[in-house]
């Protein structure tokens, strides 16, 4: 459908304000993008972009047209998705971003089973933490532990709350200074998530009271799985998810330290653009994640 194709190209050019980037995202030539924009302007008998040697700028008419064009493209995609949901099998490429710990500990060990179930599905996975914008990064779905910013174009769901605790080996504790309260923590070798030179803060709670403990990590790395391995090596304390430490506690390889003091729990959020909310590949992957996340 020519009109729909023109609108898709126009909305992406308006987002990128660059013909080359829009062409790369659409996997078509820059010349094709340019012809589509000029054809649309000729049909509407108005300029949608002001062109300079360095960039494109939407005109007033272009701003007004973009509002309706986005809606038309969204409705067309939703119509396609509604049909795919009823008749289609998960197929194509699914672009995913998630924290490395989630990928390594929960997703990777079970992903082969998911891929065998859907042989026509291909996954492109990026491992990263922090805030993620699935629309700007052209992702189908993203997972993050940071609380998402509000965005009407993105579906946001909290899928689990991960309880945390402080752990160490018996050997480390027997050789280290006494640890009777949070105030003793700065005297210990601790593993932290941040690499700030001035140190980091552990926030602990007990019976409605909260205490912030400032300390400098002996090792700073943003991966609880690495913390877990260091902790098992007997060289320090780590804040770990209970599910990651529970087997070692049962086998007495790790001990829970200051058990009455609880670190703030970690929340895991799932984010995806609204236009993808009913596609078979996304629905299948969401169900898979919900089945493997502790």
14 with 137, same domain: the answer is: no
Confidence of residue 198 (pLDDT cuts 50, 70, 90): low
Task: Look at 3-12, 54-63, 145-154 and tell me which has the smallest mean pLDDT.
Answer: 145-154
- Contacts of 167 by beta carbon, 8 Å cutoff, 6+ apart: 231, 237, 238, 239, 240, 245, 248, 249, 254, 255, 256, 257
pLDDT for residue 106? 87
| Sign of the dihedral defined by the CA atoms of residues 135, 140, 141, 142, in that order | negative
Domain boundary among 29, 54, 86: 86
pLDDT for residue 48? 94
Question: What is d(CA 166, CA 263) in angstroms, rounded to the nearest whole number?
Answer: 8
Q: Average pLDDT in the 62-76 region?
A: 85
Q: 């049962």: which residue's tokens?
A: 250
- Contacts of 52 by beta carbon, 8 Å cutoff, 6+ apart: none
Percent of the chain with pLDDT over 70: 91
Domain boundary among 86, 104, 123: 86
236 with 271, same domain: the answer is: no
243 with 271, same domain: the answer is: no
174 with 252, same domain: the answer is: yes
* 255-257/164-168 β-pairing: antiparallel
Confidence of residue 84 (pLDDT cuts 50, 70, 90): low
285 with 243, same domain: the answer is: no
User: What CATH number should be reported for the domain holding residue 108?
Assistant: 3.40.190.10
Q: Which of 28, 41, 139 is nearest to 14 (CA)?
A: 41
79 with 138, same domain: the answer is: no
pLDDT for residue 1? 45
47 with 130, same domain: the answer is: no
In the chain, the number of structural domains is 3
CA 9 to chain CA centroid, nearest Å: 27
Instruction: Using CB atoms within 10 Å of the CB of residue 211, give its burial: 0 to 12 exposed, 13 to 18 middle, 19+ buried.
Output: middle
Given a contact cutoff of 8 angstroms between Cβ atoms, the answer to whether 203 and 263 are in contact is yes
For the cut 90, the answer to whether the pLDDT of residue 100 exceeds it is no
58 with 134, same domain: the answer is: no
78 with 219, same domain: the answer is: no
User: What CATH number should be reported for the domain holding residue 35?
Assistant: 1.10.10.10
pLDDT for residue 152? 62
171 with 260, same domain: the answer is: yes
User: By residue range, what is the domain housing residue 33?
Assistant: 2-86
Question: What is d(CA 56, CA 38) in angstroms, rounded to the nearest whole number?
Answer: 13
CB burial of 103-118 (b: ≥16 within 10 Å; e: otherwise) equals: bbbbbeeeeeebeeeb
Q: Which two tokens stand for residue 97?
A: 């971003």
Per-residue model confidence as pLDDT tens digits over 206-233: 998 999 999 888 888 878 888 999 999 9
**Averaged pLDDT of the chain:** 86
For the cut 50, the answer to whether the pLDDT of residue 267 exceeds it is yes
Per-residue model confidence as pLDDT tens digits over 231-266: 999 999 999 999 889 999 999 999 999 999 999 998
71 with 204, same domain: the answer is: no
67 with 131, same domain: the answer is: no
User: What CATH number should be reported for the domain holding residue 192?
Assistant: 3.40.190.290
What 3-state class would DSSP assign to 232?
Answer: helix
Q: Average pLDDT in the 283-293 region?
A: 90
């Amino acid at each position: 459908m020519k009109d729909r194709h023109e609108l898709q190209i126009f909305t992406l050019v308006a987002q990128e304000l660059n013909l080359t980037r829009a062409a790369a995202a659409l996997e078509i030539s820059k010349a094709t993008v340019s012809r589509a924009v000029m054809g649309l302007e000729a049909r509407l008998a108005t300029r949608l972009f002001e062109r300079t040697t360095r960039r494109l700028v939407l005109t007033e008419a272009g701003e007004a047209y973009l509002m309706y064009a986005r809606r038309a493209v969204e409705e067309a995609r939703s119509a396609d998705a509604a049909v795919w949901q009823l008749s289609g099998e998960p197929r194509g490429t699914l672009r995913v971003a998630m924290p490395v710990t989630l990928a390594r500990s929960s997703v990777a060990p079970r992903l082969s089973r998911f891929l065998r179930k859907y042989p026509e599905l291909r996954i492109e996975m990026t491992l990263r933490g922090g805030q993620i914008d699935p629309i700007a990064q052209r992702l189908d779905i993203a997972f993050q532990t940071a609380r998402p910013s509000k965005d009407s174009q993105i579906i946001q769901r909290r899928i689990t709350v991960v309880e945390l605790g402080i752990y160490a080996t018996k050997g480390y504790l027997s050789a280290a200074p006494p640890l009777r309260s949070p105030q003793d923590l700065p005297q210990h070798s601790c593993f932290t998530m941040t690499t700030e030179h001035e140190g980091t803060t552990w926030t602990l709670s007990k019976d409605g009271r909260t205490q912030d403990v400032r300390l400098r990590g002996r090792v700073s790395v943003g991966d609880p799985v690495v913390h877990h391995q260091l902790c098992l090596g007997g060289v320090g304390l780590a804040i770990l998810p209970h599910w990651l430490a529970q087997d070692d506690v049962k086998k007495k390889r790790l001990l829970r330290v200051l058990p009455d003091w609880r670190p703030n729990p970690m929340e895991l959020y799932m984010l995806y653009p609204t236009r993808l909310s009913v596609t078979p590949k996304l629905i299948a992957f969401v169900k898979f994640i919900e089945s493997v996340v502790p």
